[in-house]
Amino acid sequence: MFEQSQTTESRLPYYEYTGPMEQSPNDHRQHRLIRLPNGMTVLCTHDPQAESAAASLTVNVGKTLKAAALQTNVSLADEVCKFYDMYYSARIMKLAVVGNHTLDQLTEWAVSKFSAVQDKGDTSLKLDSHPLGPNELGKVIFYETLEDSNKITLVFPVPNAESKYRQLVD
């Protein structure tokens, strides 16, 4: 249920979700779900209490990847670039843009800044089997916050894979 639209200022194309969106009565922010022409999904959130607008994409490579690169005498930067070239595709990315600006302004920024991300199709990693069983699949959980808080913690039942590591690195 995405309908074609365009930004107010630059007249850039995007698709806006027009279906129902459930929202907690304690969430007083305004939301707009859009899809960019390159397939990236973006949630724009107008939060009057936000101090500024923010959008981020984080890749946590940390010490483990660095140590592994040093041990194999491979450039960490080269490996990160290879990973990026292989797997980063707009179609599998999700972006959240939050700020005290209007939804139109947040949408303008999202469309103008992120539409250039290349769409390489579905490059997501495929697992041999699904980590969730019949007891976990097919459940829809609705929740309503008890306080004026916008936080949720999700815990996924993924088995510990440490025994499958070739080497443990701190």
Q: What is the pLDDT of residue 64?
A: 56
Q: What is the pLDDT of residue 169?
A: 53
β-strand pairing of 54-55 with 94-99: antiparallel
How many residues does this entry show for the chain? 170
Residue 19 zone, left/alpha/beta (φ > 0; ψ -120 to 50; rest): beta
Tens place of pLDDT per residue across the chain (170 aa): 999 999 999 999 999 999 999 998 889 999 999 999 999 999 999 999 988 877 765 433 444 566 667 777 878 778 777 777 877 888 888 999 999 999 999 999 999 999 999 999 888 777 777 777 787 787 777 777 777 777 777 776 677 776 666 655 55
Count Cα atoms within 13 angstroms, Cβ side, for 164: 3
Q: What is the pLDDT of residue 89?
A: 86
Q: What is the pLDDT of residue 63?
A: 47
Q: What is the pLDDT of residue 62?
A: 45
Q: What is the pLDDT of residue 52?
A: 80
Q: What is the pLDDT of residue 136?
A: 73
The pTM is what?
A: 0.66
Q: CA-CA-CA-CA torsion for 30, 35, 40, 46, nearest 10 degrees?
A: -10
